[in-house]
């Protein structure tokens, strides 16, 4: 497969951009070689600058549930752009998106739009601290909530991909108030809370871990978290930047029927444009300035382009049969992969919730970050290249989720299973 143009594009980009990329996991260094530079996307496919075509399961790391360059999204963005890209003043479009979100996500009575998932989690935690008057926070080992200083401790995504325990540049003092506990382990959470009685403002987690591969909650785990946090007056924050509108229209909270106090959103609600949001109970959200004293602001927050793409995307997702289709295509893909690893005697753990899935190369169970860390990344590297050479693009990391979108046809799925089976047979 020809990739000379990507190679020279990367050689040039590295002169001007650290690692040649604007987000670490896009760099292929953990799978070896250079990243492919993308020219365009259409539906389920992306095309690199050397002219190679790939069935894409990265989906811009989650947002593109309607696929690339969906005509309605493109039309909405063009229409918005022709009326002005940003005003720094309220528009009715923002209220329209906020209303859709409030009606869809059970925990959200009021919502603030921001520009990224990082901004959403950072702001939600500030509000939780302001609301409770407490400083400490608890996060889960392997959950990733963006690149907020004090949330990079034991984080997933690129931090896990590059084998970092945390990030340079974060003063110890900043992380002093961050406590971490394992996923699916309510007992350690209880003892941690008891050891820090009346000091913990919030517990933040991805209800389905999506930055360490895919790790679903054990049955009852989220309910236990709900009970424990309620008992101690701790704000429970679900980071649904990945799972929001992905596993169900109302996100993981409606999928599992557990309602947090606050929710962070991003990715899908911007339809592929930069956006984030945080929201929750009215009483808590009333702490946000100008109603309350917790400050948060942004020049481009709620800009008409991102908001229009988001509204169009969420309206499509409200149509009947959407989540059934995602479920059925992803189930076919997952069972094809499971059959292949079984047939060829490859140690594997298959994980899937709705249209998010992951194949870990390990003989262990993956129910928390330590389980995920047992995966054989060298074997993943071979798998990744085998797929890419056969025209299938997955994230260049054992710890990043795969996403099925509404435009993946049965043929795409069958082609992918066939390609993966060939690769697995040769591992
Ligand atoms: N943190 C994102 C994946 N979990 C990566 C974003 C990107 O590289 O675009």
For residue 51, what pLDDT is reported?
A: 98
Is 256 marked active-site? no
Whether 157 lines ligand 1, by a CB cut-off of 6 Å, is yes
Distance of CA 412 from the midpoint of ligand 1 (Å)? 24
For residue 172, what pLDDT is reported?
A: 84
Dist. CA 421–CA 386, nearest whole Å: 10
- In this structure, are residues 117 and 276 in contact, taking their beta carbons and an 8 Å threshold? yes
Dist. CA 215–CA 72, nearest whole Å: 33
- The Cα-based distances of 114 to 5, 171, 275, 295, 399 in angstroms read 36, 26, 6, 13, 26
Find, among 138, 354, 98, 368, the residue nearest to 237 by Cα.
138
Is 45 marked active-site? no
Whether 242 lines ligand 1, by a CB cut-off of 6 Å, is no
For residue 75, what pLDDT is reported?
A: 98
For residue 165, what pLDDT is reported?
A: 67
Is 239 marked active-site? yes
Distance of CA 25 from the midpoint of ligand 1 (Å)? 6
Q: What is the mean pLDDT of each run of 10 residues along the chain (427 residues)?
A: 96 97 92 95 98 98 98 98 98 98 98 98 98 97 94 84 80 90 98 96 98 97 98 98 98 98 98 98 98 97 98 98 98 98 98 98 97 97 98 96 98 98 97
For residue 297, what pLDDT is reported?
A: 97
For residue 318, what pLDDT is reported?
A: 98
């Amino acid at each position: 497969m020809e990739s000379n143009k990507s190679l020279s594009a990367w050689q040039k980009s590295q002169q001007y951009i650290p690692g040649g990329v604007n987000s670490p996991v896009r760099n292929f260094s953990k799978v070896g070689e250079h990243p492919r530079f993308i020219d365009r996307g259409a539906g389920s496919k992306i095309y690199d600058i050397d002219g190679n075509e790939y069935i894409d399961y990265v989906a811009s790391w989650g947002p593109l549930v309607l696929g690339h360059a969906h005509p309605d999204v493109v039309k909405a963005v063009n229409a918005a752009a022709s009326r002005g890209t940003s005003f720094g003043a309220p528009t009715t479009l923002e209220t329209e998106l906020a209303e859709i979100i409030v009606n869809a996500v059970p925990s959200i009575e009021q919502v603030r739009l921001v520009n990224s998932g990082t901004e959403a989690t950072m702001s939600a935690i500030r509000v939780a601290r302001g609301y409770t008057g407490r400083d400490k926070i608890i996060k889960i080992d392997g959950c990733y909530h963006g690149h907020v200083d004090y949330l990079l401790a034991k984080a997933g995504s690129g931090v896990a991909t590059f084998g970092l325990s945390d990030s340079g540049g974060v003063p110890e003092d900043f992380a002093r108030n961050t406590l971490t506990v394992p996923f699916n382990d309510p007992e350690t959470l209880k003892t941690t809370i008891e050891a820090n009685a009346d000091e913990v403002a919030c517990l933040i987690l991805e209800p389905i871990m999506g930055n360490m591969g895919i790790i679903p909650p054990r049955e009852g785990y989220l309910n236990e978290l709900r009970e424990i946090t309620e008992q101690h007056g701790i704000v429970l924050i679900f980071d649904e930047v990945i799972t929001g509108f992905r596993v169900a229209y109302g996100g993981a909270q409606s999928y599992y029927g557990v309602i947090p106090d606050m929710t962070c959103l991003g990715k899908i609600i911007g339809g592929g444009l930069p956006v984030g949001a945080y929201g929750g109970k009215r009483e808590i959200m009333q702490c946000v300035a100008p109603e309350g004293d917790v400050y948060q602001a942004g020049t481009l927050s709620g800009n008409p382009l991102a908001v229009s793409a988001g509204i169009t995307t969420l309206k499509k997702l409200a149509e009947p049969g959407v989540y059934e289709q995602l479920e059925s295509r992803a189930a076919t893909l997952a069972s094809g992969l499971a059959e292949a690893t079984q047939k060829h005697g490859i140690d594997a753990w298959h994980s899937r919730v709705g249209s998010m899935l992951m194949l870990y190369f390990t003989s262990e169970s993956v129910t928390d970050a330590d389980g995920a860390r047992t995966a054989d990344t060298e074997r993943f590297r071979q798998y990744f290249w085998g797929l890419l050479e056969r025209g299938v693009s997955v994230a260049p990391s054992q710890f990043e989720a795969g996403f099925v979108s509404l435009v993946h046809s049965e043929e795409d799925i069958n082609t992918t299973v066939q390609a993966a089976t060939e690769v697995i047979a040769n591992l």
